[in-house]
Copies of this chain bind each other. A is one copy, B any other.
Amino acid sequence: MPDRTIYLDHAATTPVSPTALAAMLPYFGEIYGNASGIYRQGRLAKQALEEARRTVAEVLHAHPSEVVFTSCGSESDNLVLRGIMWAALRAGRGRHLIISAVEHKAVLETAHQLAELFDCEVTELPVDGYGRVDPDDLRRAIRPDTALISIMTANNEVGTLQPIAALAAVAHAYGIPFHTDAVQAPGHLPLDVQALGVDALALSGHKFYGPKGVGVTWLRSGLSLVPVQTGGSHEGKRRAGTENVAGIVGLAAALREAEDLRPAETTRLLELRNRLLDAIPALIPNTRISGHPHERLPHHASFLFAGIEIQGVLMGLDMAGIAASSGSACTSAAQTPSHVLTAMGVSAADAVGHLRLTLGRSTTAEDIEEVLRVLPPLVQRLRRLQSGNW
């Protein structure tokens, strides 16, 4: 096992940055009050919480009262889908939900459960070969009883960006609220909710060098929603549960830092990432890029290698000290062909040969060259093994 891991799975998770960790530490032992307490310890916790809320609102170009802290990106998506659909059902405003076929499971499975158990109807919009939704398809799918549209900002598996502003404009032409799972965006894409024109947005701390176990749902003021986790009147009665002050402070510090570093990091990572996109198909025959060639996350490279199952490649890379994945960490245990690749028209036989390399702050040019040394012989050896020619 080499000394240093070349970690290329930043779309799955990132380490907590020293800045975010330093911001969090006082809230474990020193300032530990319950933010609902009337005494000094409680007030200090409450101040930290509201300062974090202002920071997040500032990055999103939103109002602090619109920021709801949750426990993760999945909860953030669940809150929007369940909360808005339940509110619509209760008010008789409709039962129809539109999503795309390439959403994260947190949206997809929630939509399915809403259909199965709560009398909603779901339309899954198709995508093109790059994984993109066509705004015209959205327009055609809208019905008089459509209560919510949810389309992700950027795909976790193949990196493709959706035309969010155009899609949100279609939704608004029909007066329908538009949610976007923006979990992959911070540090890589602008997060101005006014420019995006969305009405709700989900973030997850650990995707941008903040801690695991904390997320954000941003909800445009006026958007009505039934709370999904009920109890105390925390988070403006939108999400019950004692506030995770340390986690929230860490998330806010990490989001601020990710936004501050974004211009320089995007330039740096684009160059490294483009080297992978150019070199890997050139070095390894029968290989193609998955997702859009340039309308994609700047740190995200992904490939389809014909004729192999990727597990062997991932294990070989791990042996060489390179951490990578097949696409979604959330479904990697499942071993079924990715719903994203399937929706893009990739055959089940090809989909099992999918590799995702996502770069981050620790990634160097040397790391990329090491991948280019290790990967081609590994793929070739596995192709020989798996085809039985050995």
Residues of A within 8 A of B (CB): 1, 5, 7, 9, 12-16, 18, 21, 28-30, 32-34, 36-42, 70-75, 77-78, 86, 90, 104-110, 112-113, 117, 204, 206, 211-214, 226-234, 240-247, 311, 314-315, 317-318, 322-325, 328-334
Contact = CB atoms under 8 A, between A and B. Distances in A.
Contact of A330 (B18, B112, B232, B311): B232
Given A78-B231, A242-B206, A71 B213 contact: yes
Contacts of A105: 230-232, 240
A180 B332 CA distance: 34
Nearest to A13: B34
Nearest to A310: B38
8 contacts: A13-B37, A70-B71, A74-B231, A106-B240, A113-B227, A212-B247, A232-B329, A233-B331
Contact of A5 (B13, B34, B41, B243): B41
Contacts of A9: 33-34, 37, 39, 41-42
Contacts of A334: 233
A74 B73 CA distance: 18
Nearest to A322: B39
A298 B137 CA distance: 63
B109 A230 contact: yes
Given A113-B226, A211-B244, 8 more contacts: A1-B40, A21-B28, A40-B323, A74-B231, A90-B117, A106-B240, A206-B242, A233-B334
A206 to B, nearest CB: 6
A316 to B, nearest CB: 11
Given A37-B12, A212-B243, A71 B78 contact: no
A110 B228 CA distance: 9
A314 B329 CA distance: 48
Nearest to A311: B38
Contacts of A245: 212
A56 to B, nearest CB: 16
Contacts of A32: 13-16
A335 to B, nearest CB: 11
A83 to B, nearest CB: 11
A323 B40 CA distance: 7
* The 7 nearest A-B residue pairs measured at CB: A213-B244, A232-B330, A71-B71, A106-B231, A39-B323, A74-B241, A15-B32
Of A104, A227, A241, A334, most B-chain CB atoms within 10 Å: A241
B38 A232 contact: no
A374 to B, nearest CB: 13
A230 B325 CA distance: 22
A318 B246 CA distance: 23
A231 B323 contact: no
B78 A229 contact: yes
Contact of A231 (B12, B30, B110): B110
A27 to B, nearest CB: 8
A42 B90 CA distance: 42
